[in-house]
């Protein structure tokens, strides 16, 4: 077995962050496989029929078919253990402590919701049919639109923690939505990067990434008419995959029904292929979209980042902030593409 090339640093064109690609021969995909996680239980408070055990329903989405096993297919509730609590008419955003105090604090304001993605006790998105995943994405879009219309928050993000290593604390299939009064740091980094690219090159950086994919298909994973999936050049983790619309679109909540359908199909297919490649691996996915009030900043381009948790953040990552990826995205993409 020949020794692989020396570690390489790759630049994320959007954020300006460098990622170390160390395609180490010791890190082979099969080493990622964990034993199939046992189900913790077969019923829980997220299951249909136990609605009174959760916080009240914020929104619910019925299954179109008449023979549905329950009144809802997707249900949204507030997080019982929120990291953010809603701003009320009485609450004032007061900062405690002056500029020189090492003990400054302020209320953690925001909206923290849980999107329960199946009425029966399912654990993985790939256990749903594509039609059921579509309903999940319709719920995402609907909550995003509603919170945007209410106008209380600046920004929203939806994410899924799948598997214990990805931070999942309840096994019943769900995602979380967080709406915040400010734009959080990761989004700020991407927005600023996209703004900088626009100022320098007069085009959207994500549209530019898509143009590059058209010329070089080595990181291409899959596509539909409207949506493309690929492994980013500066993948931060092994088998990182991004999905985004081919045509420029800043806001996730403005997706058409067709785009939503195609996104659901593509993400379902890719998660299936990741499971086949890596075994039952924990992952996060995150939907990044423009802030609600986008006056003068439609240079952003919504996307979904799928981040498999094949490794752990260790001392080097915590100590330096440098991320190390051991699988070249070209190799990951080839593997995922070949399974189509
Ligand atoms: Zn359950
Ligand atoms: Zn764009
Ligand atoms: Zn992003």
pLDDT of residue 186: 95
Query: Cβ(195)–Cβ(297) under 8 Å?
Result: yes
* Per-residue pLDDT of the chain in tens (340 residues, 90 and over written 9): 344 578 899 999 999 999 988 876 445 555 555 555 677 788 999 999 999 999 999 999 988 765 666 789 999 999 988 888 887 766 666 788 888 888 888 888 899 999 999 999 999 999 999 999 999 999 999 999 999 999 999 999 999 999 888 888 889 999 999 999 999 999 999 999 999 999 999 999 999 999 999 999 999 999 999 999 999 999 999 999 999 999 999 999 999 999 999 999 999 999 999 999 888 889 999 999 999 988 877 899 999 999 998 877 778 888 888 888 989 999 999 999 988 7
User: Counting ligands in written order, which one lies closest to the CA of residue 300?
Assistant: 2
pLDDT of residue 91: 64
User: Counting ligands in written order, which one lies closest to the CA of residue 205?
Assistant: 2
Q: Give distance in angstroms: CA of 78 to centre of ligand 1.
A: 16
φ, ψ (nearest 5 deg) of residue 228: -120, 150
From 202, 153, 195, 199, select the one nearest 178 (Cα to Cα): 153
Q: 153-181 b/e with 16+ CB inside 10 Å = b?
A: bbbbbbbbbbbebbebebbbbbbbbbbbe
Q: Give distance in angstroms: CA of 233 to centre of ligand 3.
A: 14
pLDDT of residue 120: 94
Q: Give distance in angstroms: CA of 252 to centre of ligand 3.
A: 12
Q: pTM for the whole thing? A: 0.92
pLDDT of residue 32: 58
Q: Give distance in angstroms: CA of 173 to centre of ligand 1.
A: 8
pLDDT of residue 236: 94
Q: Give distance in angstroms: CA of 302 to centre of ligand 2.
A: 8
Q: Give distance in angstroms: CA of 236 to centre of ligand 2.
A: 21
How many beta carbons lie within 10 A of that of residue 208, not counting itself?
A: 16
Q: Give distance in angstroms: CA of 139 to centre of ligand 2.
A: 24
Residue the block writes with tokens 């298909």: 217
Q: Give distance in angstroms: CA of 304 to centre of ligand 3.
A: 7
- CB contact set of 269 (below 8 Å; sequence gap of 6+): 222, 340
How many beta carbons lie within 10 A of that of residue 144, not counting itself?
A: 23
Q: How many helices (H) and strands (E) does the chain have?
A: 6, 13
How many beta carbons lie within 10 A of that of residue 46, not counting itself?
A: 24
pLDDT of residue 37: 67
pLDDT of residue 311: 78
φ, ψ (nearest 5 deg) of residue 11: -95, 130
Q: Give distance in angstroms: CA of 47 to centre of ligand 2.
A: 39
Query: SS3 breakdown of the chain: % helix, strand, coil, rounded to 5?
Result: 30, 20, 50
Q: Give distance in angstroms: CA of 292 to centre of ligand 3.
A: 16
pLDDT of residue 83: 86
Distance CA 152, CA 146 (A): 11
Q: Give distance in angstroms: CA of 148 to centre of ligand 2.
A: 21
Q: Give distance in angstroms: CA of 198 to centre of ligand 2.
A: 10
- CB contact set of 18 (below 8 Å; sequence gap of 6+): 9, 10, 11, 12, 234, 322
Q: Give distance in angstroms: CA of 112 to centre of ligand 1.
A: 20
Sign of CA dihedral 167, 175, 182, 93: negative
Q: Give distance in angstroms: CA of 77 to centre of ligand 1.
A: 14
pLDDT of residue 194: 96
């Amino acid at each position: 077995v020949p020794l692989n090339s020396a570690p390489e640093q790759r630049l994320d064109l959007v954020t300006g962050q460098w990622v170390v690609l160390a395609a180490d021969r010791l890190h082979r995909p099969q080493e990622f496989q964990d034993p199939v996680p046992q189900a913790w239980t077969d019923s829980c408070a997220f299951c249909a029929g136990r609605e009174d055990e959760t916080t009240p329903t914020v929104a619910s989405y019925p299954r179109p078919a008449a023979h549905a096993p329950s009144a809802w297919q997707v249900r949204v509730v507030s997080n019982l253990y929120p990291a953010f609590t809603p701003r009320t008419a009485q609450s004032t955003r007061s900062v405690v402590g002056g500029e020189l105090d090492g003990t400054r604090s302020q209320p953690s304001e925001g909206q923290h919701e849980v999107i329960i993605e199946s009425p029966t006790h399912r654990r993985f998105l790939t256990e749903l049919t594509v039609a059921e995943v579509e309903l999940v994405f319709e719920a995402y879009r609907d909550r995003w639109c509603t919170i945007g219309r209410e106008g209380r928050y600046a920004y929203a993000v939806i994410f899924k923690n799948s598997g214990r290593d990805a931070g999942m604390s309840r096994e019943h299939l769900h995602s979380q939505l967080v709406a915040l009064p400010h734009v959080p740091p990761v989004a700020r980094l991407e927005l600023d990067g996209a703004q900088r690219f626009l100022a320098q090159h007069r085009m959207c950086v994500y549209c530019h990434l898509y143009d590059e994919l058209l010329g070089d298909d080595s990181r291409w994973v899959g596509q539909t008419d409207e949506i493309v999936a690929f492994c980013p050049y500066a993948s931060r983790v092994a088998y990182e995959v991004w999905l985004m619309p081919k045509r420029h679109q800043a806001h996730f909540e403005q997706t058409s029904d067709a785009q939503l359908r195609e996104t659901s199909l593509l993400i379902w297919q890719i998660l299936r292929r990741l499971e086949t490649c890596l075994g039952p691996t924990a992952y996060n996915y995150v939907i990044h979209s423009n802030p609600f009030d986008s006056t003068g900043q439609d240079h952003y381009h919504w996307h979904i980042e799928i981040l498999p948790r094949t490794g752990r953040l260790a001392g080097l990552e915590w100590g330096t902030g440098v991320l190390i990826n051991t699988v070249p995205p070209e190799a990951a993409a080839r593997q995922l593409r070949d399974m189509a």
